[in-house]
Amino acid sequence: METPLSPLEMMRRTRRLYGKHEAVVDGPVRLTYEQFFARCDRWSSVLAGRLGVGKGDRVATIAPNTHAHLEAFYAVPQLGAVLVPINYRLTADDFAYILGHSGAKVVCAHVDYLELVDSIRDRLPDVQAFVALEGEREGWLSYEALLAEVADEDVTFARPTLAETDLLTINYTSGTTARPKGVMITHRNAYMNAVGTMLHVPMAANTERYLWTLPMFHANGWTFVWIITAVGGTHVCLRKVEPAKIFAELRAEQVTLLCAAPTVLISIASAPDELRQGVRRGVRVVTAGAPPAAATIQRVEEDLGWDLTHVYGLTETAPLITVCELRPEHAGLGAGARAILKARQGVELLTSGELLVVDEAGHEVPHDGITQGEITVRGNVVMAGYYNDPEASARALRGGRFHSGDAAVVHPDGYVEIRDRLKDVIISGGENISSVEVEGMLLRHPSVQEVAVVGLPDEKWGEAPHAFVVLRAGALATADELRQFTREHLAHFKCPRGFHFVTELPKTATGKIQKYVLRGRRAGIAAQ
């Protein structure tokens, strides 16, 4: 009598209950749930019949927020196959590594990325089919043409028996090490995250209109790819995240809910008054990806009249593990005090499992708001491990808990607040950037002798990478030269915003660079 916990249950239920309701808006494209699921079924039929995709096979996507991309989150899993949604902001080299490492059998790409993928085809011998989700290009199958070949009555594919521990997606991190790691998310992981999110961010059945400002590739859009469907809401696709486009969609589609990293919130809050005209108050916003500043929260709530919920998590935890929920005793707080409270990471989601902030010995730190430890978690949303990387999996899941690498304190009321990161990961605009990767690239420049990259506060991005550079004796290089060099070899969001030339880097007695010293110099630094 047991039914495996899977987001596909949300598809099944909504298909029965909300078939006539508007499911997706993507520019001129409007689909009811009947039409949307029919397209998903036809794509499953094509994948299984024409392209030979079966249980366990990997299907990769490289696309912005489009209805075709959303369809993959249903069509691929119902075959028992594994979806690999890739960050479209990465470089061709990143694409080659991820597609090769994941063993992708089929690659589906938006028209904007067809040429980039073509440039690495000789490095993808295991890919058996390339599908253009939009547009046409020689050597690519057309997504829409493939769907048109299958009439609804001719849809045939086997729905395999699924276990809730089967892989649903492999989501690649964008930089806790020099190479991305493939986070294995199971059907159970995603289902529990979705249910937990719906418990803590209540949504009305059949009325929500959700704006896709958050990339679908980012931890499966925090599982909102399935959450909005579960409540019979409408997915309003946004292909480019710009304030003018955001406000236009907010007005035109009467949006009720959106998710956004703090950098997007800053751009929204800083938009000119003329863009805000006609936008409804009371829009609910869920933010995560980097700790939002209290000032940003206050501006969003006071200036726009929106209601913000701050959540925290990682790709490895499917992704959400805390929510900064307000309690009755918080109701009397002033706007500033409430914003400070909302900037904390908060308390466990009911379904995420046990979160503990522990010291180096593994003991829980006192709830004094002062003593720092590492955020660890065990429970329903923790990944199955890193794909084809047992050593990294063992390190991250040691002692039966996932170790986040985030340093935090716990306040007397039980609310967690991140203070720093144990790893030197830079979170810029919600994207993880590996300082090791950026340093490795800069060291390839002939004029660079030593370099350390750290995250420094940035008004727009929350924080941004800055490089402290020691040049070789007699060598010359300018900030513009190094900036151009990194832009030629790395995804642009990974490139340092500032370059600071120093004669030496602060180091320990054993020669390890003291990055905390560099971060402490931020008060006197102006981006060059």
- Last residue of a domain, which of 421, 442, 470? 421
In 3-state terms the chain splits into helix, strand, coil percentages (rounded to 5) of 35, 25, 40
Range of the domain at 488: 425-524
> Same domain, yes or no, for 429 and 416?
no
- Residue 258: inside a domain, yes or no? no
pLDDT at 278 over 60: yes
pLDDT at 71 over 50: yes
Give pLDDT tens digits for 180-193.
Answer: 899 999 999 999 99
- Residue 304: inside a domain, yes or no? no
Instruction: Note the residue count of the chain.
Output: 528
- Residue 401: inside a domain, yes or no? yes
pLDDT computed for residue 109 by the predictor = 98
> Same domain, yes or no, for 38 and 156?
yes
Q: How confident is the model at residue 420 (pLDDT cuts 50, 70, 90)?
A: low
pLDDT at 308 over 50: yes
- Last residue of a domain, which of 202, 222, 240? 240
246-275: average pLDDT:
91
Give pLDDT tens digits for 346-388.
Answer: 999 999 999 999 999 999 999 999 898 999 999 999 999 999 9
pLDDT computed for residue 335 by the predictor = 87
CB-side exposure of 166: number of CA atoms within 13 Å?
22
pLDDT computed for residue 181 by the predictor = 94
User: What is the CB neighbour count within 10 angstroms for residue 39?
Assistant: 24
Please state, for a pLDDT cut of 70, what percent of the chain lies above it. Answer: 95
Phi first, then psi, for residue 322 (nearest 5°) are: -135, 160
Query: Position 271: which residue type?
Result: A
pLDDT computed for residue 509 by the predictor = 41
Closest CA to 220 of 384, 444, 370, 7: 7
Instruction: Report yes or no: 462 and 427 within 8 Å, Cβ to Cβ.
Output: yes
Give pLDDT tens digits for 87-131.
Answer: 998 889 999 999 999 999 999 999 999 999 999 999 999 999 999
> Same domain, yes or no, for 136 and 226?
yes
The angle at the Cα of 436, spanning 501 to 113, to the nearest 5 degrees, equals 105
Give pLDDT tens digits for 199-243.
Answer: 999 999 999 999 999 999 999 999 999 999 999 999 999 999 999
CATH number at residue 117: 3.40.50.12780
> Same domain, yes or no, for 58 and 193?
yes
Q: What's the order of all strands across the beta sheet hosting 462-471?
A: 448-458, 462-471, 498-501
Number of domains in the chain: 3
Give pLDDT tens digits for 462-514.
Answer: 889 999 999 988 899 999 999 999 999 899 899 999 999 999 888 744 345 78
Give pLDDT tens digits for 431-470.
Answer: 878 777 788 889 889 898 888 899 998 888 888 999 999 9
CATH number at residue 517: 3.30.300.30
**What is the C-alpha separation between 363 and 214, in angstroms, rounded?**
36
> Same domain, yes or no, for 416 and 445?
no
**What is the C-alpha separation between 441 and 422, in angstroms, rounded?**
22
Q: What's the order of all strands across the beta sheet hosting 284-287?
A: 29-32, 22-26, 234-237, 209-212, 257-260, 284-287, 307-313, 320-323, 347-348
CATH number at residue 391: 2.30.38.10
pLDDT computed for residue 289 by the predictor = 78
H or E stretch covering 227:
helix 224-230
Q: How confident is the model at residue 527 (pLDDT cuts 50, 70, 90)?
A: very low
- Residue 325: inside a domain, yes or no? no
pLDDT computed for residue 510 by the predictor = 36
Residue 171 in tokens:
């989501």
> Same domain, yes or no, for 456 and 389?
no
Mean pLDDT, the chain, whole residue set: 92
- Last residue of a domain, which of 240, 255, 289? 240
> Same domain, yes or no, for 225 and 90?
yes
pLDDT computed for residue 48 by the predictor = 97
- Residue 277: inside a domain, yes or no? no
Instruction: Report yes or no: 24 and 51 within 8 Å, Cβ to Cβ.
Output: no
Give pLDDT tens digits for 143-173.
Answer: 999 999 999 889 999 999 999 999 999 999 8
